[in-house]
Every structure is written in structure tokens, then in C-alpha cells.
A and B are shown apart, each in its own frame.
Chain A
Amino acid sequence: MSGIVLLRFGESGKLQPSDALGNLDDMGTEPGITAPARVSAWTGFGRRFLQASTNGLVAPDRSGNGTLLQRDVTIQVLLSLTLAGASGAQTLIARGLNDGTAAERYAYGLELQEQANFPGFVEVRWFWQDETGAVKTQAPGVFRSPGDGVEIMLTATRRWESTSRVVVRYYVADELIAELVSPDGSLSGGTTGRTTIGARKAAGAYGRYLNGVIDELLVTDNEVSPEEIRHTWKRLTEYQPGGVETFAALTPPGSVWAQNLGNDIGKRVKIVGELLGLAVASAEELRALLLPDAAPLELVERWENICELSASPGDSLDVRRTRILSYLARDEGFQLAPLQIALAGPMALDPDRVQILEFTNTITDDFSTGIAAERWFDGGGAIWSTSRGQLQALAPAGADLRVESGATPFLLVSAEPGRLYVSARLGPGSLSTLPTDAFYGLVLHSRATNDWAWFGIVNSGGVPAVAYRTARAGSPGPFVTLDLPVTDGPSWIRIATPQRAVSIDDGRFTLSYSTTGPTTGFVDVRGPSRLGSDWSWAGLAITSLLSPVPSPIAVTFGDFVLHSGDSLRSYLWYAFREMKLAGRPDLVGADRLVKKIKPAYTYAAAISSKSVLCDDARDGLCDLGPMGAL
């Protein structure tokens, strides 16, 4: 953080207060405000602002727009209030005079007010103007007044995240009293704006005068963290008084001159003791704020450099801390539980809700839970549904399902070139309704070459038969029927390449058929010597040689198995965050963490969708392609 304005009010009563950081010119008065009197305060001297006396101060920037803060800002003030006799809102600071010009809009401001419905309770609230000039007063934090004249430390922070989201926090002492999210992210602020203290100017008239004493006031250009505020409070109330006590205790036993801190020697004792306490506080600050769980912004940047993490412009301090902690908390090796724990932070979930998706090179689907849209590619032309754990394909009478017409009534899952094994169950009860010249069974497809291969059951002129068919570059050949008995009970079919560890994808396939079970009773059938290669899709299909289809096709499938022996799926894993769950995840950070954790031979990513979602034409509009996350 960097201090922007620091008003100590320690000047002589004959001098105007000035900004210790030099960003404001000396503070003065103008018509509508009178100078506040110098009074004794906790740090030495402060200024007493009286509503009745219309006290206030105003100053232009000395540095060019040095106080113009339109994003993050923190205001910290040591003050005491006098609620007796006060009324209405009381301004601590306002950056801008709100004279109707864009140059004088409030960039930020902080005000106090005793609650009308709850006497003795005080609201503290931010205000600023948006780009239209409308004053946006924020929801307040509330605290109980400690009594008139009692000095306290008050801190308000503002974190701008977007034009529709600003996070404001309020603290008294070191205690967070409110954190609120505001939609008023359109922040204005004048390029020549002046800053007022103890009063606020609007439309040329001063008002909202403060009734209390400001001891010190600090404005910084960042959102000060709760840990920094806690440390400041401990410095003021623990370390520095402790230093004074320590130094006083070093005086000779029995001496009294150091016990009275109001006399000349005692004042020197106090000065030395305060400095001693300040040094202690610096050491304690290092201890309290060094590690990334409580590090302030500048240290978080260093931690990010150490961990080779990068932050996005809108990332809050909390998000950046969590990202670092997650990175440091990761375990070596690929273990699910530590992965979930490490990702719980950036994904804003309990660890057991972080889904780690892993894969094998075998895809099985019994359709017991419906048709997973992320997995299956529906070519259209047929209605695919599930009922009682069976996949049903339906095409109405009159439909055109011919390949020659460009119809693609299939349900495909992506396969990978190389060794292939695909099988499925057909029926039961499908043959009785299968129209003449209609087919149902397995299908392979290469989208690159527009090659097709079908293997299943065809009603060949009223005689159901096991058959296959191929198409090269979209030009289909005839169905080739095979001399095998076909029943209306369940049948199982499969297409398999040689499964040896070293295999050449030369188009050799074995077609098999069984009426016994999914793994038994298979009979290899006489197929073509070469069925084709580089099949990138496999699945289920219906089709017909006739157009239109004379009667509806209604067939069932089940027990689908696709095994790609040379698949890379085993080396993929994804950390999935269900976005329907509550929380504000940091998916960018989660993905970076995954990339850091993953073994080099794997591909991994943090994802929020199990489907590829790339609506942008730049990405090929590839929404239809499943990403293999099932």
C-alpha cells in the first residue's frame, strides 16, 4: 500500500493543518466553513470540529491528482465523536466538492451518523458519485458509541472489482463490523477535485458537518487487509505502551520520576518507550504478516513471484492469498485427497465437493441414467431416449434415413485411431417392428474422410439378417448379409481390431455376433478384408435403404462398450467445479494450480463444464464435441 493523505493535525494552532505526505496543499477554509480549533488528543493534538461552528477544512491537490482514487481505497482515522447536540450525517472526508461539474465529483468519502431508530449507535458509510453524478451512499457498518469524547480507531476499505461489484468493509479498532457488496461500481471523481475534512460541499453549499475530534486521518490507495488493521491496533494499544512500560521499568528501583509521564523526564521516557515499542511492532509485523495467509498486498506479490504464480487485475487479496496457500499446500504426487484439499480454496468448496475426473481407455454405458449429453453426439433424424435402462431409437414413418440423402441418424462417441473394440446389445423385441430394408447396429465413422462402416441387423426383404455395409467418402455400398441365425431376443455384436500391444491400423477388423451374452458365445463372421482405418467416432445407428420409411422404426440398444487400446484418455484428468454450488470460485487460480501439480506426462485442467464450450467462431464452434470428461 501507499499512503496518499496523512493528516496528523499536530501543527500549532496558528498554522493550517497540512498533509504529511505532501499530496494535499495546506488545508484552509472558505465561505461556509471555519477552521476547527486545535485540541489535545491521543497522539498529542487533533482538531475539534463543531457542527454549530460549521468547522471544516478544504485543500486542493498539491500533486497532480495525487488524491484521486477511483478504485481501491482505505480511510483510517483516529477520532472521537460528540453525539450530544449533533444531528444528521457527519462527514469525515470527501474527495470532491460536487459542484455539478465532472471535475468535482466525489471519488470517495466517508460519513458517520447516529441511528435515528437506535440512539447511541453510529453508522459509518462510504459515499461516492457515479459517472452520471448521482451520489451513491453505501450501506453502513454500525457500532455502539463508546461515549462522547472517547477516542477510537475507525477504518473503512473499498475494493473495486467491476462496474457492478464493489466490496466495502468497516472496522472499529481491529474488529470487522460489516462487509457488504455494492453494485455501484461506476466510480467517478474529479480531475481537479478538492478534498474536504469535517464537512461536505454539494451544489455550492457546505453541510453535513462533523461533531467530534479528528486526531489523525490516513488515506491509502489500496484495500488494507484485516491483518494489517489488527497489527496497527496492536501497535497502538499493545506494543507501544509495552515499550513505554519496559523502558520505565528500567529506571532505578524506587525512583518516581519515570512513573509520571507527564513531567519533563517522564515525557522523554515516553518518547523512548514509544520508539522501543515501534521497533518491537516492526518485528512483530514481520512475524504477523510475512507468511502468505496474512500477507499484505506487496508481500503477496513477492510470494506470487516466488511461487511463479500470476494474478489477474481484478483478483482480490483474499483470492491471491488462497491461490498461494493452495499452491504451497499441494502434495507431491497424484493423490486424490490432497488434490481436493489443495483445490478447495480456489474452487471455494469443501474438499469432498471438488470432483477429480479420471479416465480409462474404456468407455462403458448401459444407459441406466439416461443419455449423457456430454458424451454422445446425436446426428439427428432419429429420436434417442432411454426407458428402463435401455436406449431406444425411434424414427417415424415417412422419415428419410438414407445415407444417400445425407441423413445421419446415429448416436456417436469419440474414439481414437488405433486399436479399437466396440460392442453393444441389440434388442430384444426390435425385429418384430423392424421395417423392410431398415438396419440397426454399430457404426464407425471418420469425419475426416467421410468413411462409414455399419455392422448389425438388417431386414433384408423381410428376412432379418446379420449384415455389414461400408461407405467410402460418403458413397455407400450395399448391405452384405451374413449367413447367421437371427432371433428377436437380445443379440450382441462387436467390431474389433487385433488387440496385440503392437498393432498396425491397416483396416483389418473382426466382426462378431452372439446370441448368448455380452462376453460369451461370439461367432466371428466373414467380413471384408479391410473395413477402413482412422475411425474417430463409434456408436449406434439406424438407417434404411428406403425413403420414406414405410413404417416406424423402434429399436433398442444397451451394454455399449468402446475400448481404444491406444487412447490417451488414461493420461487426462480434470478438476471439475460444479457452478451450481454456492461460492465465488477462482477458476483461473485453480487451473494454474492444476497445471503446477499435474505430472508432466498427463494433461489436466480445472473445468466448470464437462463439455467443451467454445461458442466463439475462433474456436471452431466445437460445442458438439465431447471433451472426454465422462
Chain B
Amino acid sequence: MIAVWDQLPQAVANGLLLAALYAIVALGLTLIFGVLDVVNFGHGQLVTLGAYLVYALVSGSFSFWIAVPVVMVALGLGGLLMERFTFRPVRSIPINGLLVSIGWIAIIGNVISAVWGPDQYNMTRVLPGSLSFAGLSLSRSQLLVLGVSIVVMVVLSLVLRFTSGGKALRATAQNREAAALVGIRTRRLDAIAFGVGAALAALAGGLVANLFPLDPSVGDSYMVYAFVALIVGGAGSAAGAVVGSIIVGLAVSLAQTFGSTGVASVAPFVVLIIVLFFRPAGLFRTDHEATL
């Protein structure tokens, strides 16, 4: 029992660090869902692509600090084009948007396999080593993820609340028709939301590349857990995505530390079922409207 209490702070810290990465992925997902009403299942592949592109640039002597923004811009522009040419034409039938997103899983996955093959790659870490305080050991690379995640949350929150573009995004997420009636150019916002979501996926990918070995499935687990976080928090809610990520991150970490492998595998989904039982729209949604 003493060992459990000794390990608990570290397990919680691990969970929060895990949550930081899930949150960046979930924020991108929720931004796209909130505005376009489509769950982009290809988001995990964008994370993987972002990771490989950052790896490629860093291997080509680019600084990690330059590579990440460059890849964010590139995938952000790619996201704009994805929305414009593949999601927008099928917007009137939501199920088709879902199918298009599944199609992107195959397309991006095959591009990654064709270019990099199935081999595993290890990027030289920026910020190697760890920090110890209050009995906790935290790697500098993971702390970087936490810091970046907090910055992303704050910036996104400020943009959504205090800029005209952010207010327009929120208005579109809440009521698309009403937003259009007051002159908001909702189609343009669709593309922007998708582009920002893709850029966030690229950011998550870059951070993953600095943490773990890369292979073509590296983004898959982040997609799954970020999706669970999205639903737990309430799809379309930025605050919900963050809180959902923290819950899922803690569930995974605590179950892996104190439970069996089987418990760890199902813990996030048990949390999901419990939350949906009491709050069918997720923790941060009271109705069926998105609340960016």
C-alpha cells in the first residue's frame, strides 16, 4: 500500500504528460468537428505524417525548432486543400464526410509507406535528459510537450474568445445557418478550421518524433485516445477536449502503473461508457450544439 502511495504522484504526472499530447490531437479533432460536423478519422495519419516530415527535415540538418513550424504550415495548407477538394463537395451528406476521412487514412498511410517504408526511425532528441523535483522524474522532452500544449490551449482559447475570427468560428460551430445569416463566411471558416486542425496534428507529430521511435502506425494510438477524450469532454468543445484528455491520460497512466495490461487497455473505454451514461453529450456539452 505504501508503494502505491509512493508511486501515485509520479503516475499522475505521467498521466498529465500523456494528456498534454492527447489534448493537442483532440483540440485539432474538436475544431474540425465543431465547425464541419465531421470526425476526421484521418487525423491520426496527419499526426504520423507530421512526425515523419519533422524527422525528415531534422535529418536533413534543419533545426527541430524550425522544422516543426515549417511542417505545421505545410500540413495546415494541406488541410485547407483537403477540406476544399474532398470534404466540401460532400458536406450535404455527413456520412460521406466520414467515408472521405477514412479514405484519407488509406491515402496518407500508403504515401508514408511508399516514401519511408515500414522501417523504424529514431530522431536525435532535442532537450535530452530529465528533471527531478519533489520526488518526480520528468523528461525534458515530455515537459516540452506539456509546455507546448499549455501554450496551444491558451492561444486557442484567446483566439476563440477575443478575436473576430474566433468568434465567427464559435458562432458557426453553434449555429451554422444563423452565422451565415449574419454574414459570416462559413465555407471559409470550414477551410480555416480544417487547416488549423491539420497544423495541430503536425505539431503533435513533431513532438511525438522527439519522444518515441517512428513507424507508420505511430499516430494511431493518439488518434484513438484523443477521439475517446473528444467524446468524454463533449465533441466540439475545446474545453471538453482538454478535460477529456486529462481524464483519459490519467486513466491510462494509473491503469498501466497499478493494473494489469488488460485493465490498462480497457480503462479509457470504461471511463467513456461511464461518462456517456450520465452525460450522453459529453462533460462539456449540454445539448447537441458544439461549443467551441
- A interacts with B: no
